[in-house]
Amino acid sequence: MRVALLVHETFPERAKTAVGLLRYGDDEVVAVLDRTTAGERVRDHVPDAPDAPIVASMADVSEPVDALVVGVAPIGGDFDETWRPDIRAALERGCDVVAGLHSFLADDDEFARLASEHGCDIRDVRRPPDDLTVADGTAGDVDATVVLTVGTDCSSGKMTTSYELVRAARERGVDAAIVPTGQTAIMIEGWGIAVDRVVSDFAAGAVERMVEKRAADHDLLVVEGQGALAHPAYSGVTTSILHGAAPDRLVCCHAAGREAVHGYEHVPIPPLEEYVALYERVAAPVSPAEVVAGAVNTAALGGRETGERAAGADGTVPEADGTAAEATARAAVEEFGATIDAPATDPVRFGVDPILDAVLEGHL
């Protein structure tokens, strides 16, 4: 499929979905729509992803496009009216539109009419199935090994770590698969449930259903975590995933240098060793699981672009480049590992192998 990504004024730092699709998706990205960086190219910002031009609007995309994908995930998931002309233009030329917003584009009168007139689809991937139920508390019974990525905050690397883990496991011959719980992974996988959009009574049940479905076909499941346990707004989602997935092992993701909850600067992130223990304590009564490894996102420490994946596309770890930034990042990884008393790495900068080793040890 040939797609365009709408990321106005957010690329790449606040366009998590677009960067995830560029890096892990199978679709061909023919253009990125960002009125701020128009004229530049994807490789200027995300060097390890396939390149594409950045343009200001859908009118500047001359190639055929199968779908326009909204690649922004704003807090609250609201639609931004400044996106309307591009979505209108896409539908008018027969493009499908894919979005993961809380507000559903298919419920917009104009968009629904245009889609109908031009024979195209609007896919709101955050729309939950209508037959969800409460959890049975049975996900712990599956035969597959279930790993959950948890975090010390939102945007700490849970999705990236999950994908790097699955890719590396497959390279070692392990039949691994992701359990997608958020919009980006759902777009990449073509299935999944956006747990944060589910009625809260059914959130754990939604995760349980996905784990039980996926476990029948794979040996290792990596459940993509959401939010954080000490997050003032999203902790309920996190807890529902932790108990609904009933994981065997946890991987804790942390953004190096972050000291307060992103967007909630009055809420400090707890001391990391306590935070890891808190995840284990909350998991224990339903399904005991230890944090067996840590993933540190060291992008904020410099030395690489936000989107850069220094580890090669084949999963090999690059030679040390001896820069000061690399040394700082290495120190941050070692400090995190020592603090949580578990192997740690930056899966993007240094490769995911230490995490995979810990995840597989004694399993599979």
Q: How far apart are CA 350 and CA 329, in angstroms?
A: 9
Q: How far apart are CA 30 and CA 22, in angstroms?
A: 11
Minimum Å gap between C-beta 66 and a second copy is 29
**Coil, helix or strand at residue 177:** strand
**DSSP structure string for 99-156:** E--SS-GGGSHHHHHHHHHHT--EEETTPPPTT-----S-GGG-SSEEEEEEESSSSS
Residue type, 349: R
Minimum Å gap between C-beta 148 and a second copy is 14
| DSSP 8-state symbol, 41 | B
Q: How far apart are CA 232 and CA 69, in angstroms?
A: 29
Minimum Å gap between C-beta 70 and a second copy is 17
Residue pair 65/2 in contact by the 8 Å Cβ criterion: yes
Q: Whose Cβ is closer to a second copy: residue 122's or residue 269's?
A: 269
Interface residues toward a second copy, by CB under 8 A = 75-77, 102, 133-137, 195-201, 203-205, 229-240, 242-244, 246, 261, 264, 266-270, 275, 278, 281-282, 284-286
Q: Whose Cβ is closer to a second copy: residue 73's or residue 358's?
A: 73
Q: Whose Cβ is closer to a second copy: residue 80's or residue 308's?
A: 80
Q: Which two tokens stand for residue 118?
A: 């031009």
Q: Whose Cβ is closer to a second copy: residue 3's or residue 135's?
A: 135
Q: Whose Cβ is closer to a second copy: residue 282's or residue 317's?
A: 282
Minimum Å gap between C-beta 287 and a second copy is 8
Minimum Å gap between C-beta 230 and a second copy is 4
Residue type, 41: R
The residue to which tokens 């998590």 are assigned: 16
Minimum Å gap between C-beta 220 and a second copy is 23
User: What does the buried/exposed string (b/e) look like for 297-318 if buried means 16 or more CB atoms within 10 Å of the residue's CB?
Assistant: bbbebebbbbbbbbbeeebeee
Q: Which two tokens stand for residue 202?
A: 């059914």
Sign of CA dihedral 74, 307, 263, 34: negative
Q: Which residue, 173, 95, 160, 174, is CA-closest to 298?
A: 160
Minimum Å gap between C-beta 268 and a second copy is 7
Minimum Å gap between C-beta 43 and a second copy is 34
